[in-house]
Homo-oligomer: A and B are copies of this chain.
Amino acid sequence: MRTHQLVQSWLEEQLSAGRLAVGDRLPGERTVAEQLGISRASAREGIRVLEAMGVVRAGVGSGPAAGTVITANPGAALGAALRLHMASSHLPVEDIVQTRLLLETWAAAHADASAPAMEDAGALLGAMDTSALDEKEFLRLDALFHVALAEAAGNILIGAMMSSLRESIEGYTLQLTRNLPDWPVTSARLRAEHRKIHQAIKNDDGALAARLIARHIEGFYEEAGI
């Protein structure tokens, strides 16, 4: 077992036993090293891996371990890994679009109109109306809007999976905008569609929301796709 796996297993035990919980500060490098019988450098490396996996968040403040807090962000690790796999062309855009259709239609059908994520989604609708946005910034907000809708369904895992896709979605949509004949026309259409999807969820009409979001995802891909 490699050092980072030792540190992971140790944290898993601590969490299972209730000795540590989400929101707690992680013990410092020295404590981790002593408890596991490993060097401080190895403990530091193991903690960095936890950070990259979204399991802990390094705090600000003095000292390298100051305020490292146990978080719950299972999407972070996969997001970074997926971006690398996209870069190596091992993840076709078709697979992302198909996965989005599956996760997002399910989430739209099950979204809770009163979930806090619905308010985030509403704020993003407003932000996307700002006329000064360039394509890149628009698509960043657009991807965040889709993640917020997925989170509104309340399934932590599906929310995390959508969150892990966020950067990949930003990447492929930005690539595809090069193929669009008229960006202002497309962005106006996307904004109108976003509002209808959001409203359908607010009206507790999951079936309509699911149909609208499927058409929205497929429509962009077909307009800009190959």
A218 to chain B, nearest CB (A): 16
Contacts of A76 in B (CB 8 A): 81
A118 to chain B, nearest CB (A): 19
A54 to chain B, nearest CB (A): 6
For this chain, the copies found in one complex come to 2
Asked if A67 lies at the interface with its beta carbon under 8 angstroms from chain B, I say no
A21 to chain B, nearest CB (A): 6
Contacts of A45 in B (CB 8 A): 44-45, 48
Q: Which of B49, B84, B90, B157 contacts A48 (CB 8 A)?
A: B49
| Assembled-state Cα–Cα distance A11/B78 (Å) | 16
Contacts of A72 in B (CB 8 A): 85, 88, 90
Stretch of A99-107, A131-139, A184-192 contacting B (4+ beta carbons < 8 Å): A99-107
Asked if A91 lies at the interface with its beta carbon under 8 angstroms from chain B, I say yes
- Please determine whether A8 and B84 come into contact, CB atoms closer than 8 angstroms: yes
Interface residues of A in 1-28 (CB under 8 A from B): 2-5, 8, 11-13, 15-16, 21-22
Number of interface residues of A (CB under 8 A): 57
- Please determine whether A15 and B99 come into contact, CB atoms closer than 8 angstroms: no
Asked if A214 lies at the interface with its beta carbon under 8 angstroms from chain B, I say no
The residue on B at minimum CB distance from A168 is B157
- Please determine whether B12 and A99 come into contact, CB atoms closer than 8 angstroms: no
| Assembled-state Cα–Cα distance A164/B157 (Å) | 11
Asked if A114 lies at the interface with its beta carbon under 8 angstroms from chain B, I say no
Asked if A96 lies at the interface with its beta carbon under 8 angstroms from chain B, I say yes
Q: Assuming A13-B87, A90-B156, A102-B103, what are 5 further A-B pairs, CB within 8 angstroms?
A: A4-B51, A5-B80, A48-B49, A53-B84, A96-B157
22 pairs, A vs B, C-beta closer than 8 Å: A2-B48, A15-B84, A15-B88, A41-B41, A48-B48, A49-B52, A53-B53, A55-B85, A70-B88, A72-B85, A74-B82, A74-B85, A74-B91, A76-B81, A77-B77, A77-B80, A78-B160, A78-B164, A82-B157, A85-B156, A98-B155, A99-B155
